[in-house]
Chain A
Amino acid sequence: MTTIPDALASPAEGSRTRPAGLAGAVYAALATVRDPELDQPVTTLGFVSSCTVTGEGAAQVRLRLPTYFCAPNFAFLMVADAYDAVTAVPGVQSTEVILDDHFASDAINAGVAARAGFVASFDGEATDELDDLRATFLRKAVLAGTDQVCRPLVDAGLTPAELTALTLGATPVSPELDRLRQRRRDLNLPAHDSSHLLIDPTTGNRIRESSVPLHLRRARLTRTGIDANTSICSGMLRARYQTT
C-alpha cells in the first residue's frame, strides 16, 4: 500500500467538513475519480480543496494539484472525470469543477464546462482524445496490482508453475485482488473467476511459466515507480499548500 500522510488521507482534508446529505454523495462520487498516473482517488491524494452543494442542487468542486506544471493531459482527465461523476449524482442540478493554480487552468476549466473534449480544448496542440493515454496507465495499474496480489503468494512459496496455473477465482480474496480485477475490466481484459491471474496487460495472453520471474520483476518495478511518484507528489502538494 502506498503511504499517504495522515492529514492528506483524511476525507475531511481541504473540505470544510465532511459533508452530509447531497454534498456527502457528491464527495463520495469524487472518491471514484482517480489520478490516472498514481492510480489513487483524488480525495485520498488531497486534490479536492472544496466541495459544496447549494440548496438548489448546484454543485461546485475545486481541485488543486501538486505543481503549477503538472501534465495538462492528466489534469484534464481528472477535471473531466470529476465533472462526470458529480453530474451523475441524483439530485445534482448543475455542476461546476474548477482546477486552481495550474498553467492550463483556463483551457481545462472552459473545455470541461463546454464538454468540448481535449482536442478542442487545446486547439492545434493535440491530435487525439485521451483514451490511449488512460489505457496506458491502466495497464501500469494492472502490473502494479499484480505485484500487490502476487507478493504474498511468492512469499508463501508458490512456484512459477503454480502461479502461471492460478486463476482469479482460486486466488485468495483481498481488496488488492478486487482492485486488480476492476482495472482489468476497465481495460476489457479477462477478469472472470476462470481467467488466469498472470496475463500480459496489453494482449491479455497468459504468462508462460518461463516468463513468470521477469513478469513479476516488471510488476514490482512498476509498483515501485508509481509509489515513488505518489510519495513525491504528496510531498510537493504538502509544500505547496502547507497541508500538514
Chain B
Amino acid sequence: MYEKDGEKYFIVDSHMHYWDATPANWVPGAEQYAKGWIECFHAYQSLGPKETHWPIEKFEGYTEDDLMKDVFEDGHVDIGIFQPTYLKEWYREGFNTTERNAALGEKHPGKFIANTRFDPRDGDVGLVELRRNVERYGSKGVKLYTAEWNNGSRGYKLSDPGCYRFLEEAQKLGIKNIHVHKGPTIWPLDKDAFDVSDVDHAATDFPDLNFIIEHVGLPRIEDFCFMATQEPNVYAGLSVVIGGLMHARPKFFAKVMGELMFWVGEDKMTFGSDYGIWEPKWQVEGFVDWQMPDDDELSDYAKLTTATKKKILGLNAAKLYDIKVPEECQLPADAGTPAAQDDAQLVTGA
C-alpha cells in the first residue's frame, strides 16, 4: 500500500518478472539472441531515473532478495502478477517461466499471482502443459508473446485457428485474463508484427475473456486505442508507458495518458512496472504525484482524479483477478465514471 496526503492506494503490479538472463542460461549457438534480448531490455531501463539504473551484470540475474526489496519493501506493491516469457530457443531453462515464478511465489504466500502462458504452435503437448500449469499454480491469466520464435517460426497471431483452440481450452480451465505482448517478428515477416487486429478478432469471439494489451500496443498505440474503444473486454496495460515515458519524455507521457483516458478510459487501464526493467517505487510515487499539465496544447485532455489513480494503480487489476482490497483502500460507491463511454458510442456510430 502507498499512502500520500491521507489517501491510501492499493497497488497491484500487474506486469512484472523474475528472469534469469545470465550467460550460464544462454543456449549454446543462440548466445547472440539471448544477449541481444537482455541488452535491449537493459536499454529500456535507461529511460528511467538515473539513480535506478543497474549494471548489466545485476540486470541479467537480479536475486530474490533484490526483487522482494524493490517491489514490496521499497516499491509499495501489495500484489505482484508474474507474467512469464519463455524464450526457450535462447535461454536453456527459459527466460522467465511459470515454474520459476511460482517457486518464488510459494515462498512468499499472498504476495504473488502466478500467470502462465501457452504457445499455439506447441499443439497437443502445449495443451497438456497448459492444463497442468493451471491446475498446479491456479493461474487465472496467461501471458502471450506473439513474436516468440518456435522451431523456425517467428511468431503467430491470436486469430490463428490453432490459437483459438488454446483460448477455448484456457477459458474452460477458468482462465479469465489474456495478457498480450506484441513483438517485432511474426509469420509472415512482411506483415506488421505489431498489428493488433488479431486481438480485435479474438476479443470479439471470446467476449467472456479479458484482453489486456501490454505496453498499450506500443508501438501501435493508435491502432490499440481505436480497437479498445470498440471492444468492451480490451484493457490497456501501462507497463512501458509509465516506465519508458513518464521520466524520460514527460510531454509525450502527458499526451499518451490524455489519449488513453479519452479512448480507453480510467476503468480499463492497469499499472505494471515491468520489473526488473524498472523499479516500481519511482513509478508509483511519480504517478500519484503526476497531473496533466496546464498547457494550452494539453488543455482538452482530462485531468486525473485521486480515484482515477487508485483505479489504475490497483483497483482495476484487483477486479480482473478477484483480489480482495482492504476497506480503507476502496473507493466510495459513487466515485468516478467511465471516461470513455460516450466516446465509444461516437466511434461505433462513425
Q: Which residues of A contact B347 (CB under 8 A)?
A: 214
A143 to B226, CA, bound (A): 14
A224 to B185: give the CA distance in the assembly, Å: 24
Asked if A37 lies at the interface with its beta carbon under 8 angstroms from chain B, I say: yes
What per-residue 1/0 map shows which CB atoms of B239-260 lie under 8 Å from chain A? Answer: 0100011001101100110010
Interface centre among A220, A222, A225, A239 (most CB of B within 10 A): A225
Q: Kindly state the separation between the CA atoms of A133 and B188 in the bound complex, as whole angstroms.
A: 12
Interface stretch, picked from A51-59, A68-76, A180-188, is A68-76
Residues from chain B with a CB closer than 8 A to the CB of A6 are none
Interface pair A133/B190, CB less than 8 Å apart: yes
Q: Determine if A72 and B255 form an interchain contact, defined as CB atoms under 8 angstroms apart.
A: no
Chain B, residues 284-306, CB within 8 Å of chain A (1/0): the string is 00000000000000000000000
Q: For the complex, give the distance between the alpha carbons of A130 and B191 in Å.
A: 8
How many of B's residues come within 8 Å of A, CB to CB?
45
Q: Determine which residue in B193, B248, B252 has the highest number of CB atoms from chain A within 10 A of its CB, and name it.
A: B252
* Given known A-B contacts A224-B252, A231-B245, A232-B244, A73 and B46 have beta carbons under 8 A apart: no
> Whose C-beta in chain B lies nearest to the C-beta of A144?
B222
Does A118 make an interface contact (CB < 8 A)? yes
In the assembly, what is the distance between CA of A213 and CA of B255, in Å? 18
Closest to A66 in B: B43
Smallest Cβ-Cβ distance to A214: which chain B residue:
B350
Q: A67-B43, A71-B193 are in contact. Are A228 and B188 (CB under 8 A)?
A: no
Q: Which of the segments B31-39, B169-177, B205-213, B311-319 contacts the partner chain? A: B31-39
Q: Give the distance to chain B from A147, nearest Cβ to Cβ, in Å.
A: 11
User: Quick check: B249 and A68 within 8 Å, CB to CB?
Assistant: no
Contact A232 B245 (CB under 8 A): yes
Any A CB within 8 A of the CB of B220: yes
Give Cα distance in the complex from A127 to B191, angstroms: 9
B188 contacts A221, CB within 8 Å?
Answer: no
Partner pick for A129 among B44, B190, B225, B245, CB 8 A cutoff? B190
Q: Does B184 contact A (CB under 8 A)?
A: yes
Q: Are B190 and A103 in contact (CB under 8 A)?
A: no
Cβ of B32: which chain A residues have Cβ within 8 Å of it?
Answer: 68, 103
Q: In the assembled complex, how far is the CB of residue B245 from the closest CB belonging to chain A, in whole angstroms?
A: 6
Q: Which chain B residues numbered 1 to 47 have a C-beta less than 8 Å away from chain A?
A: 32-33, 36-37, 39-40, 42-44, 46-47
Contact across chains for A126 and B184 when beta carbons are under 8 A apart: no
- Residues of the A chain whose Cβ atoms lie less than 8 Å from the Cβ of B43: 66-67, 235-236, 239-240
> What chain B residues lie within 8 Å of A37 (beta carbons)?
219
Q: What is the total of A-B residue contacts with beta carbons within 8 Å?
A: 125
- CB neighbours of A70 from chain B (8 A): 184
B46 x A239 contact (CB < 8 A): yes
Q: Chain A residues with Cβ under 8 A from B221's Cβ?
A: 221, 224-225, 228
Residues on B with beta carbons closer than 8 Å to the beta carbon of A214: 346-347, 350
- Most interface-central of A119, A140, A220 (chain B CB within 10 A): A220
Within 8 A of A (CB), among B183-228: 183-185, 187-194, 218-222, 225-226
Query: Given A218-B226, A221-B259, A224-B259 in contact, is the A232-B218 Cβ separation under 8 Å?
Result: yes
* Any B CB within 8 A of the CB of A128: yes
- For B42, the chain A residues whose CB sits under 8 A away are 239
Complex partner residue of B222 from A66, A118, A126, A140, CB under 8 angstroms: A140
Question: Within the complex, which residue of A72, A132, A211, A218 is in contact with B184, where a contact is CB–CB below 8 Å?
Answer: A72
A128→B188 contact, CB < 8 A: yes
A159 within 8 A of B: no
Q: Is A229 an interface residue (CB 8 A)?
A: yes
Contacts of A229 in B (CB 8 A): 218-219
What are 27 A-B contacts with C-beta separation under 8 Å? A66-B43, A69-B183, A72-B189, A73-B189, A73-B190, A73-B192, A73-B193, A118-B189, A125-B154, A125-B189, A126-B189, A127-B190, A128-B190, A136-B192, A140-B222, A218-B226, A221-B225, A227-B252, A231-B249, A232-B47, A232-B218, A232-B244, A235-B43, A235-B248, A235-B249, A236-B44, A240-B43
Extra pairs beyond A67-B40, A232-B244, A235-B249 (15, CB < 8 Å): A67-B36, A68-B39, A69-B183, A71-B192, A73-B191, A128-B188, A130-B190, A214-B350, A224-B252, A224-B256, A225-B221, A225-B222, A227-B252, A235-B46, A239-B42
